[in-house]
Homo-oligomer: A and B are copies of this chain.
C-alpha cells in the first residue's frame, strides 16, 4: 500500500510463495482488511465511491481508495469515471471477480459453521 522494498526477505518470501502456490496467490488477492467487504457490497451491482463508504462501517476514505486501487490493479474491480461535476465514479466486479462468487458462498458457509464451533470451546 505504501511502496514495498524491492529485496527485503519479507518481500522475497512472499513472491516465492505466491509463485509456487496458486492457492496462496488467490487468497492474497483478497487479503486486505477491507477487500472482501468491498467485493461483497459489489456483488449486487455497481456502486459509487460514496455509496461504498456509507455502506462500510468504519472505513476511511483513504483505506477505501487504497483497497479499491489494488483491486482495480489486480483486475477484480472496474472503475468508471463519469465526466461530471461534482465527480461521479463507480465500481463494479469484473468477470473474473464474479467467478469467485460461488466459492465465496462456500467459504462463507464454512466460516459461519467454524465460528460456532470455535466459540463454543
Q: Assuming A22-B112, A22-B115, A23-B36, what are 7 further A-B pairs, CB within 8 angstroms?
A: A13-B33, A23-B40, A23-B107, A25-B114, A27-B30, A99-B110, A103-B107
Write the nearest CB–CB distance from A119 to chain B, whole angstroms.
Answer: 10
A26 in contact with B57 given A74-B118, A96-B117, A117-B75 (CB within 8 Å): no
A106 within 8 A of B: yes
A14 within 8 A of B: yes
- Judging by beta carbons under 8 Å apart, are B104 and A23 in contact? yes
Write the nearest CB–CB distance from A4 to chain B, whole angstroms.
Answer: 14
A80 within 8 A of B: no
Interface residues of A in 16-31 (CB under 8 A from B): 16-17, 20-27, 29-31
